[in-house]
Amino acid sequence: MADSAVPSGHAPAILSARGICIAFGPRTVLDDVSLDVAEGEIVALLGPSGSGKSTLLRIITGLLRADRGTVELDGRSIDDLPTHRRNIGLVFQDEQLFPHRTVAQNIEFGLRMQRRPRTDRTRRVAELLAVVGLPGFEDRRVTDLSGGEAKRIALARTLAPAPRIVLLDEPLTGLDRELHDQLTVELARLLRETHTTAVLVTHDRDEAAAIADRVVRMEGR
Amino acid sequence: MSARDRNGLSRWTIAALAAPAIAFIGLFYAWPVVALVHRAVTAEAFRTVVHDVSLRRILWFTAWQAAISTAATVVVGLVPAWLLARYEFVGRRFLTALITVPFVLPTVVVGAAFLALLPQSLDQSVVAILVAHVFFNVAVVVRGVGGLWSLLPPDLVGAARTLGASPWRAMREVTLPLLAPAIEASASVVFLFSFTSFGVVRILGGPSHPTLEVEIWERATRLGDVGVAAIVSIIQLVVLGLAVLWFARIQSRHRAAIGLRPLANRRRARGWAERGTVAALSIAVVVAVGTPLAALFERSVRTNAGHSLVAWRAVFGRRQLATGRPTAVSSLDPLGSLFTSLRFALIATVLSVIIGGCASLAIVAMSRTGGRSRLGRALDTGIMLPLGTSAVTIGFGVLVGFSVAPLDWRAAPLLIPLGHALVATPFVVRVLLPTLRSIDPHLRDAASALGASPLRAWREVDMRVMVAPLLTGAGFAAAISLGEFGATTFLTRQGRATLPIAIEQLLARPGAVLHAEGYVLATVLALLTFLVIGAFEGVRSLGDRSG
């Protein structure tokens, strides 16, 4: 269950999840959870594993349907909108890069779905590779990337189509300490520089504090 | 040069193990092929083939019906493959087994089932052939593609969806490209089966839709046009050889594909829409597999006046009724064909288990001793050759190869189970090899260190683990022999018909009573096949619960 979670400032919420409930068989994972995120705000959902943080992200993206509750984006309910029309980005914990495509093809995937012209896409891919610090990686195979590189490419792929809000599911888990700390700083800078509204799921208190404007605690059930 | 490799089998033991397979393949595969070529290379026959327009038409028909059968099988197969790979539900394992059922059924039974099911207007039509091919082969796609599908993380599609891809677009852009190696591999297997389809086409196609296989049989046995038939067989042998090579290449590419982790990727359906889809598809699979088989049984008990067991009684009480039979079928003894089939299946199973078992041991032993690994691969390939050859070509080759002195064995009843064993042995070897290869040689070393002689060590270690796959292989061999039609059709003699031969003959003759008896035999053959595979699998699973 989340704390009563409203934005710290007075900016209106662009994302608003209300009274979300979901159960898998006999196991209730989310029970009346609500979350508001304001424009440009970076919120961290902090909680132990099994507290339903990732499940909440999946419900917001529409990959999973809640048993009860509603999700609003810019004041309109998106409950009946399929995932691909929601314009909500998700960075998966294990990246989920398309293994049969190059780095550039991964990043431009969302742009192709938006039918952006090729020159436009090429420019945007180069721009994002520069943002995540991997310029010139266009033609690499994603299966050859290191752990840290794959995380950056996954972030670039999610940012490329400029979604209304970016959800990050434990994006820095599974890295060694040094790389983790380095990427934490980078991610915080990067999200701010790109004025991204984001929800970050993590079980690491320091990570949450370093990246987020506001930390919301979720308790395991 | 040492006569004995470290704790392995001696060179002479390996040679002795390989000998039966080499002799068998040499005599019953290589010699018939040589005999075919010898018979075929006459300018006269060659001219006939080149100028024969009907042959070109038949080749064209064979190719396009195989192509359409393959495409349809892949499309139809992807749906249950997705269902079984993505969802966990009550009865999933049963459904997986059920989908495999048509594939283990003899082709003649599949043909008979669709003859029973389809309305008369579709008899002898291309549609009937295509539908039967899809039914028969769909398991290849479900197994092949579903296996890979269950390893793909579902979140890959999730990633595509959050990036703006519709479900259909995500399927096209992500899932299908990643499944491509498995789709290509199963498609080439299905194409191979459909291209060389014989039993199904003989029963459903009628004379108006011959494939190359049927044409070879027709020319060789009916028209006495052995030269042309031989050339067509050889052309087909070459085409199939190329197809098999291509298939082998795809398989090796498949192995080099992206690293996949086995994950628990199946989940329960959520919400009424998903649950409804899963339930509806499951029911559709049960209906699709069950209906033709139910129709087969229904036709065996159908008479002009309702339903009765007349045909069943006629088949099983035949000995008493024999005097009252019409002369047209006096040569055909339905119950006798059952016993003939059982006898042949026993011989073929014993033969292929012995030959295949020994050959597998030899192949593994050779591959473990660096210098001879190439020999091992050659032996492996040699044993596989009959798999890449159509059954009709094998039967025809054996017939040609053993019809002239000094090898005039045409009349020898043993020729039929020998042909069956030729087709079954590759399966025994394929089932055995992975197990034998997985044996850690150190186990044998340990046994040796404890004082076991090499033979004793081998018996204690290798023999033990061989039992389970040998039983599986024996089940396959028996089922293959029981259902074998293509090769048998060349070697069968009056009064020695096997079940598939008797079924085809009964269904080809006019008369509702004879047809009903054909359906009785087809039902019996279907049950027998399940029984054989089930029995061997049952015995096997008693000792090994891993599968």
Query: Do residues B425 and B540 share a domain?
Result: yes
pLDDT tens by residue, A28-43: 899 999 999 999 999 9
Domain count, chain B: 2
State the average pLDDT over residues B439-461: 77
B391 C-beta neighbours (distance < 10 Å), count: 25
How far the first Cα of chain B sits from its last, in Å, is: 42
Q: Is the pLDDT confidence value at B402 over 90?
A: no
pTM of the model: 0.86
Any CB–CB contact under 8 A between B166 and chain A?
yes
A136 sits in the region (left: phi over 0; alpha: psi -120 to 50; else beta) called left
In this complex, is the C-beta atom of B253 within 8 Å of any C-beta atom belonging to chain A? no
How far is it, in rounded angstroms, from Cα A110 to Cα A121?
10
CB-nearest partner of B163 from A25, A94, A110: A110
Same domain, B469 and B543: yes
Q: Are residues B246 and B373 in the same domain?
A: no
Whole-number Å distance between alpha carbons of A130 and A151? 14
B305 plus B212 within the same structural domain: no
Task: Given the cut 0.90, state whether the ipTM is greater than it.
Answer: yes
Residue B14 lies in a domain: yes
Average confidence score pLDDT of chain B: 84
Q: Do B178 and A99 touch (CB under 8 A)?
A: yes
- Nearest beta carbon to residue A113 from set B164, B167, B268: B164
Please report which confidence band the pLDDT of residue A25 belongs to, taking 50, 70 and 90 as the band edges.
confident
**B156/A98 touch (CB, cutoff 8 Å), yes or no:** yes
Q: What is the pLDDT of residues B210-267, one digit of tens each?
A: 889 999 998 888 887 888 888 888 888 888 888 777 777 766 665 544 555 556 678 8
What is the Cα–Cα distance from B331 to B318, expressed in whole angstroms? 13
* In contact, B99 and B142? CB cutoff 8 Å: yes
Does the pLDDT of residue B514 top 80, yes or no? yes
B393 and B533 in a common domain: yes
Q: Which of B274, B291, B311 is the last residue of a domain?
A: B274
Please indicate whether, in this complex, the C-beta atoms of A110 and B164 are within 8 angstroms of each other: yes
User: Which residue in the block uniquely carries the two structure tokens 């080499």?
Assistant: B22
Of the pLDDT bands very low, low, confident and very high (cuts 50, 70, 90), residue B405 is: low
User: What radius of gyration, in Å, describes the C-alpha atoms of chain A?
Assistant: 17
> Percent of chain B having pLDDT more than 90?
38
Interface residue B163 vs chain A (CB under 8 A): yes
pLDDT of residue B245: 79
Same domain for B258 and B386, yes or no, is no
| The pLDDT of residue B377 | 83
Distance CA B387, CA B385 (A): 5
The reply to whether residue A25 touches residue B153, judged by beta carbons under 8 angstroms, is: no
CA distance A139 to A152: 15
Confidence at A173, pLDDT banded by 50, 70, 90: confident
Q: Do A84 and B166 touch (CB under 8 A)?
A: yes
If asked whether residues B353 and B250 sit together in one domain, one would say: no
- The reported pLDDT for the residue numbered B134 is 97
Scanning the structure block, which residue is given the tokens 């049963």? B94
User: Does some domain include residue B15?
Assistant: yes
Q: Does residue B236 belong to any structural domain of this protein?
A: yes
B219 and B104 share one domain: yes
Helix (H, G, I), strand (E, B) or coil at B511: coil
The pLDDT of residue B263 is 61
Asked whether the CA dihedral B48, B50, B52, B58 is positive or negative, the reply is: positive
Lowest mean pLDDT among A121-135, B95-109, B240-254, B271-285: B240-254
Q: Is A126 on the interface with B (CB under 8 A)?
A: no
Which pLDDT band holds residue B537 (cuts at 50, 70, 90)? confident
Where does B390-463 have alpha helices with state H? 391-401, 415-438, 441-449, 454-458
Q: What stretch of H or E contains B306?
A: strand B306-307
The per-residue pLDDT for B390 is 86
What digits encode the pLDDT tens for the residues B10-65?
Answer: 788 888 888 999 999 998 899 988 888 887 777 887 888 888 888 889 989 999 99
Q: Is the pLDDT of residue B305 over 80?
A: no
- Judge whether B284 lies within some domain: no
Q: Residue B472 belongs to a domain with what CATH number? A: 1.10.3720.10
| Conformational region of residue A21, where left means phi above 0, alpha means psi within -120 to 50, and beta covers everything else | beta
DSSP tally for chain B: helices H, then strands E: 26, 2
- Give the pLDDT band (50/70/90) at residue A1: very low
- Domains within chain A, CATH numbers bracketed: 40-54+81-217 (3.40.50.300)
Contact B165 A84 (CB under 8 A): yes
- Which pLDDT score, from 0 to 100, does residue B46 have? 80
Domain co-membership, B367 together with B449:
yes
Residues B141 and B247 in one domain: yes
d(C-alpha B43, C-alpha B346), whole Å: 43
The answer to the question of residue B218 being in a domain is yes
Q: Express each pLDDT in B75-129 by its tens digit.
A: 999 999 999 999 999 999 899 989 989 998 999 999 999 999 988 777 678 899 9
Distance CA B419, CA B481 (A): 9
Residues 173-212 (A) with a CB less than 8 A from some CB of B? none
Neighbours of A75 (CB within 10 A): 9
Domain, as residue range, for B429: 10-35+301-325+332-547
Q: Using the beta-carbon criterion (under 8 Å), do A63 and B169 form an inter-chain contact?
A: no
Q: Does B164 sit within 8 Å of A161, measured CB to CB?
A: yes
Report the 3 state secondary structure along B229-243. Answer: HHHHHHHHHHHHHHH
A23 near B CB under 8 A: no
Residues B30 and B62 in one domain: no
Kindly determine whether residue B162 and residue A100, on different chains, have CB atoms separated by under 8 Å. no
Chain A positions in Cβ-Cβ contact with residue B268 (cut-off 8 Å): 24-25
pLDDT at B327: 41
Is B294 domain-assigned? Answer: no
Q: Is residue B282 part of a domain?
A: no
B74 and B14 share one domain: no
In a domain, B484, yes or no: yes
The residue of chain B nearest to residue A101, with distances taken between CA atoms, is B174
> How far is the C-alpha of B428 from the C-alpha of B356, rounded, in Å?
6
**Cβ separation B161–A94 shorter than 8 A:** no
CA B390 to chain centre: 11
- The alpha-carbon gap from B157 to the nearest alpha carbon of chain A, in Å, equals 9
